[in-house]
A and B are shown apart, each in its own frame.
Chain A
Amino acid sequence: MKRVVGLICVLAFASVPLWLRDPYLLNALITTGIFIIGAMSLNLLLGFTGQLSLGHVAFFGIGAYVSSLTALGFDVGLFGDVHVVHTPWPPIVGFVLAIIVAGCCGYLVGRLSFRVRGAYFVIVTISFAEVVRLVALNWVELTQGPLALNNIPSIAIGLPGMGDLVLRTKLQNYYLVLVVAVIAYVLIARLVHSHYGRAMRGLMENETLAVAVGIDVTRTLTLAAVISAGIAGAAGSLYAHYIRIIDPDIFAFINTVTMVIMVVSGGKGSLAGPVVGGVIFGLLPVVLRPIMPPEAQWISYGCVLILILFVLPRGIVPSLAERLMQVRARIARPVVASSIAKERA
């Protein structure tokens, strides 16, 4: 049942460019899609381990910079005469490296901060994002600082017998983002439904009990941080190769806040939550722009957010799922405990 719904959703998203020809809207959908991937990765930490990463954009930005620098090449002087020179590699290699490097950063931040959790983790992640932003701003030789890295090449995919397919158009990028989003979604779904995910949920709900049945806290949480950071890095790489220019503003706090809003409004701890929240809050500015002046847009944005959280405090997806369950329970009570009954038979 869930698979059918998922497949229908994917097909629906895949059909959008067939009837939507407006490049402005398609552009909004692509950037929204990229942020949804970021939000899904944030949800893995916030929704399934209960750890709020308010510096999540650091992993996103690191992914973007690693991928761009891999594709552009650089020549950086270290300690006097020593120069590190990198000749450009294909962007697809940058995409893979972005995931690996962001994942490693996730490991470091996770190891450092999961000894003491909660507020401490929030502070470490914010600080980490700020430090990375300052490095990107000031290490001009590597990152061009505020001058930005530009002319970042588009991602190209080698097709057997047909040479490289360069994903330059909006249409191609739309499908690229969709494919990466689906892969990220499936990976996160598999993870949270495996014993790794159950360990995360156990730790979130009752840590004392969880360790007593043999769940390793540091290992479980670090794993979540690594995978979350890796996926955020992938999103950052897609962003860099699509926008084709990045500057240190990519590390702005507002980008993290956008992801947090997507997760919290859609429903943290639900797989579909960030997608639903992301579509709403990613496209809301686009919808509001033609109908009201700029100052009113953000007020409306805030009002919609407050309204959603007021009416559906646990987020859209979990709250609606709960109501659906209640309705179903009223219709068919005896279905409960069927899984056990089946095994008995």
Chain B
Amino acid sequence: MTVLAPARDIALSVEQVGVQFGGLVALSGLNFVVGEGEIVSLIGPNGAGKTTAFNIMTGFLDPTKGTVKYRGTGLNGLKPHQVADLGLIRTFQRTSVFPRDTVFDNVLIGLHRQGRVPLLDALLGLPRARSSERAQRERAAELIRWVGLEARANDLAGSLSYGEQRLVGVALALAAQPSMLLLDEPVSGMNASETHSFVELIRSIRDRGVTILLVEHDMPMVMSVSDRIVVLNYGRIIAEGPPDAIRNDPAVIEAYLGQGAQRA
């Protein structure tokens, strides 16, 4: 399979990545790139290796073979928080929030990377620490407005609906100042109108210069939002291209609907 080079600078490149859990091959020969400012979706049936690929791209798992590079830096051997320091931030399918904190505090925790002040400043309450604290609170309020949760700002994150928790997860991730955002099934559990506004949110995030990689099951959503789609099955890429090409790709149709679908 040839890699379709995007017409812009490469942000993330996955090179010949293979992962084995004992005898199980979770991923093999995974090879794709994401350009700066692109929205790319990674799709595939359950068990295709999407989440494994995500874990590798964010330092939660080291590949058995191959490398992942972000803006030229190899990620092999880096810990998740070091990957986050490169600006590569992910969200999670489940447990996307800090449940016993308010939405506002959730976002404040997410602002960790921006709010760093020397320990002594924080302990002594020096002006630098105070102004940083004020700036963080303003930023948190701004982010909460951006994802549209201002009415729930002071509620415990654990008490929110599924869809709202996803939004908190995104606000948290945005707080970490990503240059690339990896969203793991962000709209699962959302209703149609929530999904619709989430697509708008993704676009607005991209418009601010953030590259986006999406893992998602909701096909209409993926088709409408993506610039390019990478399709995985059994740990391999079976198709890659713009939404229109993917929609009509026989290998993709087969993977999703089974062989019977082609005859029908």
B84 x A212 contact (CB < 8 A)? yes
A201 to B116, CA, bound (A): 16
Main secondary structure of the interface of A (DSSP, over half): helix
Q: Contacts A195-B122, A339-B104; is A209 near B97 (CB within 8 Å)?
A: yes
- Judged by a CB distance under 8 angstroms, whether A47 is at the interface is no
A212 x B111 contact (CB < 8 A)? no
A194 x B117 contact (CB < 8 A)? yes
Shortest distance between the CB of B59 and any CB in chain A (Å): 8
- Residues in A with CB closer than 8 Å to B110 are 213
B112 x A206 contact (CB < 8 A)? no
- Residues in A with CB closer than 8 Å to B221 are none
Shortest distance between the CB of B126 and any CB in chain A (Å): 10
- Judged by a CB distance under 8 angstroms, whether A137 is at the interface is no
Most buried by B among A187, A195, A201, A344: A195
A336 to B152, CA, bound (A): 9
Most buried by B among A215, A223, A340: A340
A344 to B110, CA, bound (A): 22
- Judged by a CB distance under 8 angstroms, whether B227 is at the interface is no
- Judged by a CB distance under 8 angstroms, whether B145 is at the interface is yes
Which A-chain residue is minimally distant from B150 (CB atoms)? Answer: A340
A215 x B150 contact (CB < 8 A)? no
A206 to B80, CA, bound (A): 14
Choose from B111, B138, B153 the contact partner of A195 (Cβ within 8 Å).
Answer: B111
Q: Contacts A205-B98, A211-B80, A336-B154; is A195 near B58 (CB within 8 Å)?
A: no
A213 x B95 contact (CB < 8 A)? no
A340 x B89 contact (CB < 8 A)? no
Q: Contacts A195-B117, A205-B100, A339-B154; is A214 near B176 (CB within 8 Å)?
A: yes
Choose from A187, A213, A216, A340 the contact partner of B145 (Cβ within 8 Å).
Answer: A340
A26 to B139, CA, bound (A): 49
- Judged by a CB distance under 8 angstroms, whether A20 is at the interface is no
Shortest distance between the CB of A76 and any CB in chain B (Å): 34
- Judged by a CB distance under 8 angstroms, whether B35 is at the interface is no
Shortest distance between the CB of A313 and any CB in chain B (Å): 15
Closest 6 CB pairs of A and B: A214-B84, A194-B122, A195-B115, A211-B80, A213-B176, A202-B109
Which A residues contact B (CB, under 8 angstroms)? 187, 190-191, 194-196, 198-199, 201-202, 205-206, 208-217, 223, 336-340, 343-344
